[in-house]
């Protein structure tokens, strides 16, 4: 079976057979995998951080990667849908950039294999950075004299290309890891790191079947090669009040990227790391309460009605997945001298 098309029901069957004891608990690695052609280096991370924070190559000069994936917050923007250039509104909730390196495909529908590919998308999205052609954005980067030495250092001569800019951004993103959550400490042996309620929630989380999709160190499924995604149908059980109330089926998910009916309503299983910091929830950002999100998932994915106590315990457990955000020093964005690239 091609693991790219491994789908939640199959995974569920495999893992359900191991219940009631779920043995797959894993701490978050402190280093993220990188593709063979873009090993992470300090020079790339330094440059990538600058590019990630720089709004000047958006069409209005106002939107950077960090505008919607704010690393000072949960790696997102707290909004249902993001607001890009000219106040335009997107169509899906901004996923967190924290620990995004542990996803084997990017975007809700997995349409990018790598962070390197993902990084280019928002630049030319008319409701995000709004640049017509990505080379126009790169022309602005090339027109900022102070960037050249950073590209030289990271990639050698004649290095100011879109691909290298994307590689640098991806390298920076691979450093956005939040280890040492209470859960990580617990898994490593510190049994006092989680409260009794959180431990109960952890057991309920596994026993209810949540781990059939949300397994692995990042709670986003089994470790897979880059480009091989772990998808699930959402909602799997569609005939319920939650789906009506939150209009979950309106978005065709991966079908909108592939055009294949078999991909209808398929979404990447997303990380649960730091989920307390990333409300509102789901691809359409429609649920602004983590308890409701848990209740909804049990119903739409497992066809279960959880008790209030089980929901409360699971929410407490999910709180134990919030890790330590590393300190980030603001980059100095290289200046233009005596003129602006943004002014008309």
- Give me the active site residues, please: 128
- What minimum distance in Å lies between the beta carbon of 37 and a copy of itself? 29
Round to the nearest angstrom and report the end-to-end CA distance of the chain.
55
Which is closer to a copy of itself, CB of 132 or CB of 303?
132
| Encoded tokens for 92 | 């899906």
Q: Which of 11, 217, 234 is nearest to 1 (CA)?
A: 11
Question: Of residues 37-56, which lie at the interface with a copy of itself (CB under 8 A)?
Answer: 53-56
Which is closer to a copy of itself, CB of 23 or CB of 329?
329
Q: Which of 272, 175, 298, 269 is nearest to 217 (CA)?
A: 272
Q: How many residues bind a copy of itself (CB under 8 A)?
A: 53
- What minimum distance in Å lies between the beta carbon of 272 and a copy of itself? 12
Among 163, 279, 302, 312, binds a copy of itself (CB under 8 A): 279
What's the residue count for the chain?
A: 344
The b-or-e profile of 18-53 (16+ CB within 10 A means b, else e) is eeeebeeeebbeeebebbeebebeebbbbbbbbbbb
- What minimum distance in Å lies between the beta carbon of 33 and a copy of itself? 25
Among 4, 79, 111, 252, binds a copy of itself (CB under 8 A): 79
Angle at 247 between CA 245 and CA 249, to 5 degrees: 140
Q: How far apart are CA 194 and CA 44, in angstroms?
A: 37
Question: Of residues 322-341, which lie at the interface with a copy of itself (CB under 8 A)?
Answer: 325, 327-333, 335-341
Is there a contact between 170 and 39 (Cβ–Cβ < 8 Å)?
Answer: no
Q: How far apart are CA 157 and CA 167, in angstroms?
A: 15
Choose one: 103-111, 121-129, 260-268, 286-294; the region binding a copy of itself (CB under 8 A): 286-294
Binding status of residue 75 toward a copy of itself by CB under 8 A: no
Kindly list the residues in this chain that would bind a copy of itself in the complex (CB under 8 A): 53-56, 60-62, 67, 70-74, 77-80, 83, 85-88, 275-277, 279-280, 285, 288-291, 315, 318-319, 325, 327-333, 335-344
């Amino acid at each position: 079976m091609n693991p790219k098309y491994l789908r939640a029901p199959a995974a569920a069957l495999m893992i359900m057979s191991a219940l009631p004891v779920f043995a797959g608990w894993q701490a978050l690695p402190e280093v993220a995998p990188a593709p063979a052609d873009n090993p992470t280096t300090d020079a790339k991370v330094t440059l990538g951080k600058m590019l990630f924070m720089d709004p000047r190559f958006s069409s209005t000069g106002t939107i950077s990667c960090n505008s919607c994936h704010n690393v000072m917050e949960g790696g997102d923007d707290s909004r249902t849908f993001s607001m890009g250039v000219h106040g335009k509104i997107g169509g899906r909730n901004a996923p967190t950039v924290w620990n995004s390196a542990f996803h084997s495909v990017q975007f809700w529908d997995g349409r990018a294999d790598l962070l390197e590919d993902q990084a280019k998308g928002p630049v030319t999205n008319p409701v995000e950075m709004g640049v017509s052609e990505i080379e126009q954005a790169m022309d602005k980067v090339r027109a900022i004299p102070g960037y050249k030495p950073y590209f030289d250092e990271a990639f050698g001569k004649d290095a100011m290309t879109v691909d290298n800019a994307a590689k640098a951004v991806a390298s920076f993103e691979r450093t956005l890891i939040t280890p040492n959550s209470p859960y990580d400490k617990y898994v490593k042996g510190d049994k006092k790191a989680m409260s009794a309620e959180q431990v109960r929630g952890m057991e309920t989380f596994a026993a209810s079947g949540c781990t059939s999709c949300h397994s692995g160190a990042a709670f986003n499924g089994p470790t897979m090669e880059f480009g091989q995604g772990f998808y699930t149908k959402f909602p799997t059980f569609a005939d319920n009040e939650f789906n009506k109330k939150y209009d979950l089926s309106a978005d065709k998910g991966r079908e909108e990227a592939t055009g294949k009916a078999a991909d209808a309503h398929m979404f990447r299983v997303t990380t649960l790391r730091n989920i307390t910091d990333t409300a509102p929830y789901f691809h359409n950002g429609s649920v602004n309460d983590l308890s409701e999100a848990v209740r909804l998932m049990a119903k739409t994915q497992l066809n279960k009605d959880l008790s209030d106590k089980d929901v409360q315990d699971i929410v407490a457990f999910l709180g134990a997945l919030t890790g330590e955000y590393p300190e980030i020093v603001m980059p100095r964005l290289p200046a233009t001298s005596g003129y602006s690239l943004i002014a008309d």
